């Protein structure tokens, strides 16, 4: 039965490397339907490929073929959770959903759901920074106290806003206007630069929407009318 897989590879950042990899994938009947560059540096690139296989029994053979490409290493391979995947279109569709959230609560909930989906996290939460409580959750996550301590430690140790501090398999992004933070994890699989930028961008979209909706609510309140 045909199956779609997400394959993350380290490969030489040089002409011809991707073509050699695609050739090996094609040799086992695989079809590369999407490619996303996650990170580049020091002569290496981390790419994420969406590959359709005609039979899931071919996965082991596919892995063996990829390992035959000089300088290419597989970081992870997993079945696609849903029918994917054009990363650019997927990102636009996600942004459209977040911008169209009808209430502040809906915006926060949609951020949690789509944040996890977009970066392929195992769990995600939106944390209230004022009291350390979880206001939205997807998947099985650590206790709220651990998540709050992680965010606080990341803020104090690096004073960053793009989730670069802390464990590589946890990413977070602030929502300053809402007083909250998006926190997600893949339980052992590192987030790369592009994914961290994605998380930060989604949080900014929702924080802007949260502020807009909150301001509308204030303006509509009877006490604000003259």
Helix/strand/coil for 133:
coil
pLDDT digits 0-9 by tens, 25-37: 999 999 998 888 8
pLDDT digits 0-9 by tens, 72-88: 999 989 887 654 556 66
- 146: tokens are 């651990």
pLDDT digits 0-9 by tens, 138-190: 999 999 999 999 999 888 755 444 444 557 899 999 999 999 999 999 888 88
The verdict on whether omega for the bond into residue 85 sits within 30 degrees of 0, i.e. cis, is yes
Question: In this predicted structure, what is the pLDDT of residue 78?
Answer: 86
Give all domains of the chain, ordered by start, each with its CATH number.
3-79 (3.30.70.260), 87-220 (3.30.450.40)
pTM: 0.73
Length reported for the chain: 226
For the cut 80, the answer to whether the pLDDT of residue 89 exceeds it is: no
Phi then psi for residue 144, to 5 deg, are: -60, -35
Question: In this predicted structure, what is the pLDDT of residue 43?
Answer: 92
């Amino acid at each position: 039965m045909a199956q779609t897989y997400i394959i993350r590879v380290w490969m030489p950042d040089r002409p011809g490397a991707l073509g050699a990899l695609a050739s090996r994938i094609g040799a086992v009947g695989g079809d590369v339907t999407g490619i996303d560059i996650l990170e580049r540096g020091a002569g290496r690139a981390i790419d994420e490929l969406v590959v359709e296989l005609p039979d899931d029994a071919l996965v082991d053979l596919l892995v063996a073929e990829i390992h035959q490409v000089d300088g290419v290493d597989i970081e992870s391979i997993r079945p696609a959770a849903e029918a994917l995947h054009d990363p650019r279109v997927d990102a636009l569709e996600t942004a459209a959903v977040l911008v169209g959230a009808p209430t502040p609560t809906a915006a926060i909930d949609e951020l949690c759901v789509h944040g996890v989906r977009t970066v392929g996290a195992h769990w995600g939460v939106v944390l209230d920074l004022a009291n350390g409580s979880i206001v939205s959750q997807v998947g099985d996550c650590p206790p709220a106290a651990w998540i709050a301590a992680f965010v606080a430690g990341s803020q104090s140790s690096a004073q960053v806003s793009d989730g670069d501090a802390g464990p590589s398999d946890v990413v977070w992004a602030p929502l300053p206007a809402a007083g909250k933070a998006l926190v997600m994890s893949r339980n052992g699989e590192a987030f790369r630069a592009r994914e961290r930028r994605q998380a930060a961008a989604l949080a900014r979209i929702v924080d802007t929407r949260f502020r807009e909706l909150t301001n509308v609510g204030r303006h509509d309140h009877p006490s604000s009318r003259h």
